[in-house]
């Protein structure tokens, strides 16, 4: 779908952890370099699968007030959740991008990949951070996503490629996969190392 349509020098950026195995295959198929844009959703302490905001690699945090209210998260818990997520993002940046330069250079075309779009908040915060870091054209590529999240991202980036768009009042990325499990950080590091060592 994307082959031959991206300029030389396009950067494939995965949102870890789940986006890395998907992005590694995309980067290999397109013969493009793979890196990560570390962004993580802010979740309540009692459920790590649902989010009400996200924190990006540059330290910015965005909360979704409606999702926060729907989950019954008060302001104290939201502050604590944001703090936990900021620490997680800092730890991942240090673990996955040590010794590397900026995530993007001014004007770069970026292919931003995750394992799916539920609300789209994490991806939207990633896009915002990458725009401010100087990215030019941003293309989002995901295997699956909710129709509402896809529409949301279409208003923020130049292109969204989503192979499996799902409608309905409830959507979880894991539900779109025959088999799905959390990706361990060691597996992320190994995938990045293989990609960076490839000719």
pLDDT digits (tens, 9 = 90+) for 27-59: 999 999 899 999 999 999 888 778 999 999 999
Tens-digit pLDDT profile for residues 56-66: 999 999 999 99
In angstroms, the CA 42 to CA 55 distance is 7
pTM: 0.90
Cβ atoms within 10 A of the Cβ of 19, count?
27
Domain limits of the chain?
11-194
Q: Which residue has the tokens 């250079």?
A: 105
Tens-digit pLDDT profile for residues 87-145: 999 999 999 987 788 999 999 999 999 999 988 999 999 999 999 999 999 999 999 99
Contacts with 29 (C-beta within 8 Å, 6 or more apart), sequence order: 3
CATH code reported for the domain at 11-194: 3.40.50.2020
């Amino acid at each position: 779908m994307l082959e031959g349509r991206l300029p030389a020098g396009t950067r494939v950026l995965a949102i870890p952890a789940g986006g890395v195995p998907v992005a590694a295959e995309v980067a290999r198929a397109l013969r493009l370099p793979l890196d990560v844009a570390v962004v993580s959703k802010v979740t309540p302490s009692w459920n790590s699968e649902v989010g009400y905001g996200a924190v990006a690699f540059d330290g910015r945090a965005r909360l979704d007030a409606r999702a926060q209210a729907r989950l019954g998260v008060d302001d104290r818990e939201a502050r604590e959740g944001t703090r936990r997520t900021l620490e997680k993002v800092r730890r991942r940046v240090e673990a996955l991008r040590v010794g590397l330069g900026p995530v993007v250079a001014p004007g770069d075309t970026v292919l931003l990949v995750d394992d799916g779009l539920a609300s789209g908040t994490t991806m939207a915060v990633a896009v915002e951070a990458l725009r401010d870091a100087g990215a030019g054209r941003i293309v989002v590529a995901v295997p699956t996503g909710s129709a509402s999240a896809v529409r949301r991202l279409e208003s923020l980036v130049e292109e969204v490629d989503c192979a499996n768009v799902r409608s309905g009042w409830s959507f979880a990325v894991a539900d779109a996969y025959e088999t799905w499990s959390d990706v361990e950080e060691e597996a992320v590091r190994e995938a990045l190392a293989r990609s960076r060592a490839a000719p």
